[in-house]
Chains A and B, each alone.
Chain A
Amino acid sequence: MLNFFRNNSSSSLQSPGLKFLQAWRYDPDMGKKRDFRLDFLRGIAIVFMVVNHLESHSYFNNITQGHIYASAAEGFVFLSGFVLGMVTLKRIDREGLKSAMKKLLDRSRVLYVTSFTLMVVLGLLSTIAPGMTRPSFEAAPGTWWQIIVAAATFHLAPPVIDILQLYVLLLLVSPGIFWLLRRGFWLPILAISWSLWGLQQVHPYSFSLHPIDREFPYFTFATWQLLYVHGVLMGYYRTEVGKVWKRIPKLPFLLAMGGLVIGFIVAAQYDMQLGLWPANVTNRALWLRFTDRSINGPIRLVNLVALFSLMFAAVDAFWKPLYKTLGSLLVPLGQNSLYVYILHVPATVVWFLIPGLVQGSAWLTTVLQAVAIAGFWFLIKYKVLFNIIPR
């Protein structure tokens, strides 16, 4: 498992001038049980998410927001699928399909309880202390019993905590995915996944629930399952996918991906400024639709493929300097991302309660965001409440 992508770019690194890069590459023998590159990437995603949710004009936010058609959530969902595909395959071999599937359903149940608890606590708080539960609830979304029923039945979609419901559903359908995979039916899985995504593009939100606190859930299953399913399949068939990846000439491929990413960054800077680009109103409306995050439009998907490829290639190629400088921070955060995610919810609420932070000084909010991330890191280091908070 750990030699996945091992030789992925060796062909492009043969020239003497680039040989030093070989010494920086990830060593697959580094971890016996984990691929630290994935933990590192998840660490990046969780830091970006925390910074974005602690809304402000900080210097960190300047880096993490609005520069490209992607966010931390896409990375999380894909990587979750990828890791799950790898881990579950091993587990099936070790314990059998039934036991492995039970683990997935257990995980789904844990996330359901977590999601329900967070929504109910914040939702009920919003009924007695309106304005103190931002950004999840600007105001009470209903009466106490409506909140409880809605939280239990996926009819609440409050910002910051709504993604958990998506994971509950993804894990719930995962036994079906693995059952089909064990029978070699990967193509039908892709057919279902792309069909759902396609229907969502043409008939947006046709299969969505109607939450009581917004028009549609942001993390609609029909959209976001695509990233997860491809993650699962790539994790499950990592050896085969690795062979395909190996055959791709890396330099032209990565240059093309880099070109795309630069193009999307440029486009994202202009697409919200009237009349700059696309200047044609119909084209512009189409562009906005194709880059819409809540339906993961096709342009957004192309961007994600390019971005993920580049990021993985970069982390793999420059692993040693990256790990030396940021590894001890990002890897633990990535390995405990659910734990950090849950802890960041109350942190976000507190952040919005402190007057002046959202619009506050860039320096102050940058320092406070750094303190928050360091705080999460220390909590992990000292395993605070590890027996209570899911990881």
Chain B
Amino acid sequence: MTSLPLRSRRPWSAILSVCIVLSALFVHQLLLWQETKVLPTPISRSIPFSGEDHQLANNAWRYFEANRLPTGLVSSGDKFPATTMWDVASQLAGMTAARELKLLPADEFDRWMNQTLTSLAKLPLYHKELPNKAYNAATLIPVSYGKLDHYQEIGFSALDLGRLSRWLDIVAARYPQHAAAVKAITSEWTLTRLAANGQLMGATVKDNKETWNQEGRLGYEQYGAYGLAKLGVQAKVALDPKAEMTTAKVMGVDVPVDKRTTYHNYVTSEPYILDGLESGFKALPVEYAGRVLQAQQQRYLDTHQLTTWSEDNLDKAPWFVYNTVYVNGAPWKSIDSSGKDASEFRGSSTKAAVGWHMLFRTRYTAKAYKGLRWLADPSKGVFAGYYETTQQPNRALTLNTNGIILEALLYNQAGKPLEAWAHEAH
């Protein structure tokens, strides 16, 4: 037998090998260029779940089962029976996903949905006009944030109602048996209070005095306005993403930001992800979403920290943080609800990692998804994310995190935006 000696043709062999490795490095640079410079496009096909995807869905659904209240509503935080209209939308999203992913039998879904919609119809409205910003989800009384025993009307949020409108529309279209109950809820709302001069309007009560102000900045604003348009609310300026848009350079990426300075102009993942999942980027341009994602990817390449930043509850004070790609003139800032610096609590969101991946499935989103999807307690639900400074999980368990994760998984199963999926003949 004649295998040629290992040393034969050594010079040519070595030269050829060096050329091959150099070619591989060149291909690496090309792929890197493609990954960082070419904007991603959304996935429009259904990809069968892996075992890990199923586990994630089960974990997220566990939160719903553990926090379902007799009213049909689900607590917005683990064992904390409050809710907002934003959270109710996440509840409807999670329930719909659970039904379609066969985590919740159809008859039980109908019972639960009926109970939920009935409770929503019973909610005492702020000034008998619109749903209050917060409610006790067990007693259905309007409350202020965190004070669940005291009846208090504190105003309404156009953005929250915009998200809820999107999901009421999806539920009514996909499950016609619930359409009348949905109609009964929104028919009580005084829609004229939600817009003025083409802008979205929200109300806040302070010292028993209401202020009625423009609400929303680029991202959340268009997301909310698109939802309210389904009820006939005309907010043309709010719907236009270019109306107040400028760009800011964040790690070499031109990130779309709101040029108004009268309120925090958060740039974060959530509105882009939600608009992509629900409407297929009809409210916000997919290009903007791609850039917001690209900036986060670039941060990962520079810092090796998986970056999927969004708004999040925390498992410790100050309890809530906006992790922003850009806000108030600076990149990568984390601020709490009052606008104070909260960079100590910065970190990535599990829901954003799942959402970005189900939408775009790039090599970076796959890394983030695989890196964060295990952050869960299978008996309680999926955790909000992790803290960069301590590298520990942020064990906050919320309806919003778990609802959005299920919503993103449903998008994957549907293989198309959920609004189109709900309205198609079935």
Contact = CB atoms under 8 A, between A and B. Distances in A.
Interface in B18-59: 18, 20-21, 23-24, 27-28, 31-32, 35, 47-48, 50
Given A183-B4, A191-B20, A239-B3, A292 B48 contact: no
Contact of A188 (B3, B13, B366, B391): B13
B228 to A, nearest CB: 35
Given A205-B363, A237-B3, A185 B370 contact: no
A190 interface: yes
A195 B370 contact: no
B17 interface: yes
Interface string A143-156: 00000000000000
A274 B6 contact: no
B316 interface: no
Contacts of B6: 184, 186, 237, 240
B9 A185 contact: yes
A214 interface: yes
Contacts of B371: 281-282, 285, 288-289
A205 B35 CA distance: 13
B377 interface: yes
A199 interface: yes
B374 A274 contact: yes
A102 interface: no
B24 A93 contact: no
Contacts of B5: 184, 240
A377 interface: no
A203 B35 contact: yes
B57 to A, nearest CB: 14
B111 interface: no
Interface SS of A by simple majority: helix
A90 B2 CA distance: 8
A275 interface: yes
B8 A184 contact: yes
A204 interface: yes
A195 B20 CA distance: 8
B17 A199 contact: no
Interface residues of A, number: 48
Interface residues of B, number: 45
B20 A188 contact: yes
A105 interface: no
B362 to A, nearest CB: 10
A2 to B, nearest CB: 12
Given A185-B9, A236-B3, A285 B370 contact: yes
A288 B374 contact: yes
A285 B1 CA distance: 48
Contacts of B50: 214-215
B3 A199 contact: no
A273 to B, nearest CB: 10
B306 interface: yes
Interface string B391-413: 11100000000000000000000
A240 B304 CA distance: 42
Nearest to A278: B391
A285 B364 CA distance: 13
B292 to A, nearest CB: 21
Interface in A206-254: 206, 213-215, 236-240
17 contacts: A184-B6, A185-B12, A187-B13, A191-B17, A195-B24, A202-B31, A204-B363, A215-B47, A237-B6, A240-B6, A274-B377, A274-B393, A280-B391, A281-B372, A281-B393, A282-B371, A288-B374
Interface of B: 1-9, 12-14, 16-18, 20-21, 23-24, 27-28, 31-32, 35, 47-48, 50, 304-306, 361, 363, 366-367, 370-372, 374-377, 386, 391-393
Interface of A: 1, 89-90, 93, 138-139, 141, 181-188, 190-192, 195-196, 198-199, 202-206, 213-215, 236-240, 272, 274-275, 279-285, 288-289, 292
